[in-house]
Chain A
Amino acid sequence: EIVMTQSPATLSVSPGERATLSCRASQSVSSNLAWYQQKPGQAPRFLIYGASSRATGIPARFSGSGSGTEFTLTISSLQSEDFAVYYCQQYNDWPQWTFGQGTKVEIK
């Protein structure tokens, strides 16, 4: 099983600032990586696929990068609605697509 490790566990950011979230895979997943956003009491929302492509309707302030084992999700200017938990997921090892443990982005 490919283990996904996210850091930090919690990120405190002021509105309007940049947030940078990291995700590391225990072995190469090429660019087969997705990101999701989850707000309290809601289902996850599909943000990024292919490590860097935005899903339909996702604002341009969300960007992804990386390949192999190291990946980054960047939110360029945090809006109030962006405070949430973010999960990375590898889909290289089908069908056991594993998730990271999540990074909570909170208001500083």
Chain B
Amino acid sequence: EVQLVESGGGLVQPGGSLRLSCAASGFTFNTYGMNWVRQPPGKGLEWVSYISHTGTATHYADSVKGRFTISRDNAKNSLYLQMSSLRDEDTAVYYCARALRDGYDAWGQGTLVTVSS
């Protein structure tokens, strides 16, 4: 069974940093691109970042470019999102999602990040 389990969310002050993790199991992790997608409370879904299966290619939404860094450790079947210079508008549930050529077919349960003083 494909499983994605996020962790690392919490309360952080504006300007602070946080590192999210996503542990993958049930599939060959190093053959899939992976994404982070976020959802502010009561709002819709927003793609945040993508990383290729080897980790050599990364992409970011304009809203997080220069502040967030996506990475992966294929030996540990893990995906990461390093977030810095956090803003109020970064408050959201953050999901990791497995990328197929035509959609995100597996999602974690999400981890809540709250940016507030």
Task: Name A residues whose Cβ lies closer than 8 Å to a Cβ of B.
Answer: 32, 34, 36, 42-46, 49-50, 55-56, 87, 89, 91, 95-102
Chain B CB within 10 Å, residue with most, of A36, A44, A50, A101? A44
Q: Which residue of B lies closest to A51 (CB)?
A: B102
Q: Count of B residues near A, CB < 8 Å?
A: 19
Contact, CB under 8 Å: B105 / A46: yes
> Which listed residue (B35, B45, B100) contacts A87, Cβ 8 A?
B45
Rounded to whole Å, the gap between the CB of A45 and the closest CB of chain B is 8
Task: Name B residues whose Cβ lies closer than 8 Å to a Cβ of A.
Answer: 35, 44-47, 50, 59, 61, 95, 100, 102-110
Q: Which residue of A lies closest to B101 (CB)?
A: A91
Contact, CB under 8 Å: A46 / B104: yes
Rounded to whole Å, the gap between the CB of B56 and the closest CB of chain A is 14
Rounded to whole Å, the gap between the CB of A92 and the closest CB of chain B is 10
Chain A CB within 10 Å, residue with most, of B45, B59, B95, B100? B45
Known: A43-B95, A95-B59. A55 touches B105 (CB 8 A): yes
Interface SS of chain A: loop
Q: Which residue of A lies closest to B52 (CB)?
A: A95
> Which listed residue (B35, B46, B100, B107) contacts A99, Cβ 8 A?
B46
Across the interface, which residues of B come within 8 angstroms of A100, CB to CB? 44
Rounded to whole Å, the gap between the CB of B20 and the closest CB of chain A is 15
Across the interface, which residues of A come within 8 angstroms of B61, CB to CB? 96
